[in-house]
Structure formats: structure tokens, C-alpha cells
Amino acid sequence: MSRQPELVIANATVVNSHGRQEAHIAVHDGRIAGLVDAAQPVPAADRTIDATGKLVIPGGVDGHCHVAQVTGRFRTLDDYRTTSTAALWGGTTTIIDFGIPRDAQETPLAAVLHKKELATESRCDVALHGAVVSWDETVPWQLEQLAAEGVRSVKMYTTNRGTTMADGGTILKVMREMVRLDGLAYIHAEHDPIITDCTEQQAEDGRIGIEHLHRTRPELAEEISVKETLAMAEYTGAPVYFVHQSTPGAVDLVSQARERGLQAYSETCPHYVTLDDSVYASTFPEWFACCPPMRSPETVTALKERLVSGAIHTMSSDHSCYDLSQKRERTDDVRAMPHGLPGVETRMPVTFTAMASAGATVEQFVSAFAAEPARINAIPGKGRIAEGFDADLVVFDPAEERTVNGAAMHMGTDFSPFEGKALTGWPAVVVSNGRVVLDADGFHDPGAVGRFINRNGFRQHQSAASEPTQLPAAAL
Ligand SMILES: [Zn+2]
């Protein structure tokens, strides 16, 4: 360090996904200038935060957020200022949003450029995924432009016919482009004919209200779609990432594909390892309207086991900020109501509580919360506490317990699906690009300082991100 650091987090137990060490963390110019062994004196700094007795983990990377999302006649109620503020309150310092064409006229490129413009209001760093709904001869050129903008992943839906669904031919061709452009295919996998038929049958039987949501989208529909998509990934050689996997069968298919040599990844969300389908028989079933729906208690347990075993790589919020008035407009028909749950702010404590209860270490939590989302999404400088990495840091107290009060949170809505739950593992201090944005005095709005992250190519990043230095691991 040539000059005095702006910030030192002293006496920290630094926990990365690969191990932990006792150190003082020096921050200079928004980056980690160095880790000083805790046996050495605390370096002088403009500001020193003492983390004695606390853990310090990398700032969270949430790979799946929908900001200002338009779906049919519904629009989520947050903007970048709100979502990024809520993210920081929850220990997440990087969010990845989606540029999804809002209608048949908007191109994938226009959708991304629109989101990039909105993102200038962000308080934290932002990256974007693209999305393709239908193939035409301009798509390869548009994907090249996206790659040049640092948007190296493209989402496609195998369901939602008539809105976001891409047919098999489109998915196959986009996968080929991802191989050519060193990108990553992002897939929402649910078999559309089964979902459509099952939903129609439920409607005919008069069981189409929100209390029946889980019966309209069977586990089988998710698994058959994962299987079909993996075959296309194998055929094209494209790396593939499955969003919000909600069944152990779907996760196992991805694990087996990896054993065959595919680059295939599993994401799940906090609600799928925490809530089961009994929520649809509760007083407020509309709090839990999302696709896929919550599953049986047995499925939840088996999914959580796969999170702890490492078969699931990332834990993302799938943040979608509707409020209760939108959720309650059409509770009589799951086809007409907006799906998606607010979650960018609660991702840390819900994930930590679920993983700790299943015997995971803090290192494993850091892996799903920050390290793997950064690695798989090819985000440079994130997901690890090491010299030269961005100074995105969370002083974290695994013993701190709070009860969720949706109305008191900072997302653009009036409820939380985790309302009333006692959760452990909340952020005490959050540092984003070297700025202390949350501490004992509360939130310090840094202004619209969030940066747009130009992501690396997928293969380029995986080969450059060599194995991290092994540090001595310790028990929880
Ligand atoms: Zn989503």
C-alpha cells in the first residue's frame, strides 16, 4: 500500500467460499488493497471499523433480479434506485437484471439498452442478461452487439406461450450463438404443453384460483423441460444455466449432465428451500404467487439437501416487486395474476438460515450467495475477498436474529413472503465499492454511483479464474 487506506476493517474473520483467515482488510480506491495478518498491528486508515467477533464475507451477487419488469399489463413497482437500495440493505452489492422484450416489437438489443439506461440510477453495481423470444436473421448481429456491451448471457423461456416463450428452434440457434460468442444460455425450464393442459384441466374443474396454483404446474413439467434443454446443450456444446430450479429431480439431471462433461449449472431461490405448498392453503395464498410454485415438504427437504451438497450452485432471489393490490386483483385465476416475489433484500438471511439449519458451513453459504454467482456469470473482481478485488464487503453476524416485517423493508412493495419468520444472519455493515453504505447509524445513500459491469466471456472467465489460494478452513 503506497498511501493510507480510506478504510480498514480490523480484526475480521474473513470468510471466502474456499476458507477463512483472521485479517485486517485495507480498502483503497474502491478496491481491496490488501489483507494484513491479524497478528500484525491494525494499519492506519481514514476510517476503521472493528469487526472483532464478526465474520466478513464478500458482498452478495444476486444473479436473478427483475427491475421495472413489464409482463403483460402488469409492471413491477420498483425502479433501480429502490431495488439497489434494498439490495444493499440486504448485503447484496451486485445485481443482474434482465433485458426482456416487453412486446413483439421490442428487439433483444433495444430491451437491454432500455434497461442499461434505467440502471444509471443504481446505487450498487449492475450487470444484465439479454433475452430472446423469437429467432430472425438479425438475432446473431444483435447478440454480437450485446456481447460487445458486456451482456454475455441470454435468457429463454420454454413456457409462457404468446409472451416470453421461445420455441425449441430458437433455443437451439441461440445456444449456437452462445458458443460462437463465448456466452451462457439462461433457461427457464417448464414444459409448456404439460403446463397448458394441466392449467386448462384445472380451469374446467373450477380450480383455477390462487389456492390451486401448485396443482397447475407439476414437478414433471419442470424435469422434462430440463432434460430436453440439456439435450440441446449437449448437441450444440453451449454452457447452460437453469434458473429457479425447484425440484431435486431437475437438479439431479443437471448434475448428471455435468458428470457427462456438460457445462451445466443449477440455481434455486430462497423460497424453494424454505416454503412448501401448504402456503396455498394459508390465509394469504396470493403472497406466494410465483412460477414454478412452492412444492411439497418432501421436495423442499430434498432440494435443501442438494443446496448443502453443492449440487446447486447459486441462490438468487428472482426478485419481482409487485404489491398486494396487484396480487389481489385476480386471485380467482392464476392465469390472470402477476407472478413473482420480492426478495432482493431478504436473500441473505433466508439463505443463511436455511443452509445453517441443514448443516452447511458459512463458506458454503458464501459460495451460493456471492462466489459462484460471480464466477458462473463471469463478473470480474467480485465474489471474493482478496487483494485487487472490488471492496464489496459485508460484516456479518451469523447469530443476529430478526423477524421479517415486510412493511419495514426497502423494496417497492408492502409485503414479504417471509413475513413473521425469525431469521438469522443479517448484515451489520455493508461496504460497496469501498463506500460504507450501511452501518450502526443506518443507511447512507451513496447516490447513483452504481457501475455497469462489463462481463467477461464465459470460457474466458472460467479459465482465467484459477483456483483460489487455499486458506485454512475452520468450523462454524
Ligand atoms: Zn425470473
pLDDT, block means (10 residues), the chain with 476 residues: 86 97 98 97 97 97 95 89 98 98 95 97 98 98 97 97 95 98 98 97 96 97 98 98 98 98 98 98 96 98 97 98 92 93 98 97 98 97 97 96 96 96 97 98 98 96 62 36
SS3 (DSSP) at 225 = helix
Q: Which helix (H) or strand (E) holds 32?
A: strand 31-37
pLDDT value of position 468: 43
Residues with CB under 5 A from ligand 1 (ion): 318
Name the residue among 308, 316, 319, 458 with its Cα closest to residue 376: 458
Q: What spacing in Å lies between the alpha carbon of 390 and ligand 1's midpoint?
A: 27
Question: What Å distances lie between residue 161 and 191, 244, 384, 425, CA to CA?
Answer: 11, 19, 40, 40
**Would you call 18 exposed, middle or buried from its count of C-beta atoms within 10 A (0-12, 13-18, 19+)?**
middle
- Ligand 1 centroid to Cα of residue 394, in Å, is 25
Q: How far apart are CA 198 and CA 216, in angstroms?
A: 5
Ligand 1 geometric centre to CA of 64 (Å)? 6
CATH topology of domain 60-376: TIM Barrel (3.20.20)
Q: 27 CA distance to ligand 1 centroid (A)?
A: 34
**Residue 387 CA, ligand 1 centroid: distance in Å:** 33
> How far apart are the C-alpha atoms of 275 and 52, rounded to whole Å?
34
pLDDT for residue 471: 40
Residue 73: its pLDDT value, please?
84
pTM summary value? 0.96
Q: What's the pLDDT score for residue 465?
A: 63
Name residues whose C-beta falls within 8 Å of residue 384's C-beta, 6 or more positions apart in sequence: 16, 17, 58, 370, 371, 374, 468
The torsion defined by the Cα of 294, 295, 297 and 298, in degrees rounded to 10, comes to -150
Q: Find the 68 Cα to ligand 1 centroid distance in Å.
A: 12
Single out the residue of 331, 316, 342, 339 nearest to residue 416, CA to CA.
Answer: 342
